[in-house]
Chain A
Amino acid sequence: MKKNKLITRRKAIVTGLTGIGALVLPGCGKKLPPTYGNILRMGDAFTYVAHRTLLPGQSLAKEYRYRDISSFPATGTTNPADSSQRGYNEAYEKLYRGQFAEWRLSVEGLVSRPGQYSLADLHRFPSRTQITRHTCEEGWTAIAEWTGVPLSTVLQSAGILPQARFVNFHVFDGFEDSIDMLDAFHPQTILAYGMNGRDLPIPHGAPVRLRVEKQIGYKSLKYIQRIVVTDEFVDTGDVGWAWYVGI
């Protein structure tokens, strides 16, 4: 009995405080990323706000000369068609056997024309080629030439709606991640299908990977399958890694 009462009171206090919080912070009705790892991720949340407030929005990451292209390790999942790997995906294995002729990029969510894009469809859009530096969270860097279609082109072709705030990516090796509109519409944010003048190799994310040049390497997801546009930050839970990694 007593115990029950205590919990009820505690609940009442928590509810009350949450209510006050909602009154004090009327601007925070919508979830702000990241929504996990309260104390540890405080610095990352602060970095995100500081970068978005203080840094010029659409400045370009440094682009290099062709002869600066370097050796490039493939880490994380290096082949989702390999059943012995952690990121194995049966559907991907089938697409891989068919040389990705059947691969379709699904664009959904807050777009007026949700649809599916084949590799040929992506190739039909005006392309962008950039030689940029990949900065891995582990500490290494590598320079490569990437060719692809700007994400903004695909989003606009799908008729992105004005209330859109985040672009979420679902990939074949099981990851899920999102970027905000500033990064999504950054001129160097591309869906890359080519690397160093050839088709994107399997270890580097074939058939299509994302390039987000103003963040750390792991935001540039490999093996893209589906894009979902949302007006809210989709909390995928604490995967152990910071959401914003411009640093």
Chain B
Amino acid sequence: MNAQATSGTTKIRHKRWVKAFHWIVVLSFLTLAFSGYEILMVHPRLYWGEVGNDLTPALIELPISRNHKHGGWENTIAFSDDMDGPVSASRTFDIFNQNGWGRSLHFLAAWFLVLAGVAYFISGLFTGHFRKHIWPGRKEFSPKLFWKDIVKHLRMQIPPTTGGPQYGLLQKTTYLIVIFLIMPIAIMTGLTMSPAVTAAYPFLLKIFGGAQSARTIHFFTSVTLVLFLCVHLFMIIKSGFKDHMLYMTLGKKYEKE
């Protein structure tokens, strides 16, 4: 097959540690997305700032569980004589809540992602993986070339896989954004929801504008990552699903045939 494509005589293949990291991320991300969705179902309201609950206005209300606008509350009671001030109300509705396992599973998967991520960053820096394969070279990058690559993608002119980390410009840019921007924001906003972590590092609350803002940003980063996954899968199918799977798993063994 034309696995060699344009790379000439030297065939660069995915390194073993890159492949291992890739699949750890696949597993942990799918688990995080699944458990994250469960957690969101328990309280499908998003807010901005430090505070947000059923007695305060929401930014977005998602119709994703029976908890959506359930309205099962006793009459509100004001905390003070100021009737426009903060209130309390007792909940009478038996909400959907599977967070007992949902949260524990989420954090278990998060540990795998964070620990593997740290190892990946260190390896990526010291082996030159980021410099050689992810960061676009000077000759590669210009607005013109960037535009050209976008047009190519829109016309569905997608070359078959090279079997290694020889990425296109748009591909490199996407990976850069996912690895160095979205993933770190997802992890940091996750930590900003932790009372123990924010007690130690209150600056996290300042960066993201509060615990509820962090939760909202966390939601949008995960939506972005799911969209990335969809596009990623689409591109893999377009450029040879079977080849990609073999190069990302067995690698060299496959080529000997």
- A residues with a Cβ closer than 8 A to B are 37, 39-44, 46-47, 51, 55-56, 59-62, 64, 68-75, 78-79, 133, 135-143, 195-198, 201, 203-204, 213-216, 239-242, 245-247
Complex interface: chain A residues within 8 A of B100 (CB): 239-242
Contact code string B46-89 (vs A, CB < 8 Å = 1, else 0): 00001111111000000000000000011011011000011111
Complex interface: chain A residues within 8 A of B223 (CB): none
Q: Is the CB of A240 within 8 A of B101?
A: yes
CA distance A86 to B94 in the complex (A): 12
Q: Is the CB of A62 within 8 A of B104?
A: no
- Chosen A-B contacts, 19 in total, with CB atoms closer than 8 Å, are A40-B104, A40-B105, A44-B108, A61-B195, A61-B199, A62-B199, A62-B202, A68-B51, A71-B53, A72-B55, A73-B88, A73-B91, A78-B90, A78-B91, A138-B42, A198-B79, A203-B88, A214-B196, A247-B195
* Complex partner residue of A133 from B50, B55, B95, CB under 8 angstroms: B50
Complex interface: chain B residues within 8 A of A73 (CB): 53-55, 73, 88-91
CB distance from A232 to the nearest CB of B (A): 23
The total of chain B residues at the interface (CB under 8 A) is 52
* Complex partner residue of B52 from A40, A69, A140, A215, CB under 8 angstroms: A140
CA distance A35 to B86 in the complex (A): 40
Task: Say what secondary structure dominates the interface of chain A.
Answer: loop
Within 8 A of A (CB), among B100-145: 100-101, 103-105, 107-111
CA distance A187 to B109 in the complex (A): 32
Q: Is the CB of A44 within 8 A of B195?
A: no
* Complex partner residue of A71 from B55, B74, B95, B215, CB under 8 angstroms: B55
CB distance from A44 to the nearest CB of B (A): 5
Q: Is the CB of A139 within 8 A of B195?
A: no
Complex interface: chain B residues within 8 A of A43 (CB): 104-105, 107-111
Complex interface: chain A residues within 8 A of B73 (CB): 73
Report if A74-B50 is in contact (Cβ < 8 Å); known contacts: A138-B99, A240-B100: no
